[in-house]
Amino acid sequence: MKSDKVLEILKDYKNASNKEIMDVMNFLIEDFEKTKDLIIKLTHHLDSTENSYNKLLDEYKKRIDNA
C-alpha cells in the first residue's frame, strides 16, 4: 500500500470501507514493527559506539597522565 493512499484513508477513515481500514491497520502494524526493530538496532549500535569511545578515552587519559 502506498503512503499517499494510507494518508488519504486516514484523513477520511469515517467513509472508508472495512477492507481499506484493515489494509491501513496492517500497514501501520508492519510500519510500527519495522520502526521498533530499527530503534532497537540503533540503540545497540549507539551503546556499542559509546562503549568503544569510553575505552579509548580511558586509555588516552592514562597515556596523558603517564607522559
Summarised one tens digit per residue, pLDDT across range 21-67 is 999 999 999 999 999 999 999 999 999 999 999 999 999 999 999 87
Half-sphere exposure of 51 (CA within 13 A, CB side): 6
Query: Range of 28's domain?
Result: 3-66
Question: Do 22 and 43 form a contact (C-beta atoms < 8 A)?
Answer: no
pTM (predicted TM-score): 0.76
Residue 6's closest CA among 19, 23, 18? 23
Q: What is the pLDDT of residue 44?
A: 98
Count how many domains the chain has: 1
Q: What is the pLDDT of residue 66?
A: 86
Strand, coil or helix: what is 17?
Answer: coil
Residues 6+ apart with CB under 8 A from 1: 23, 24, 27
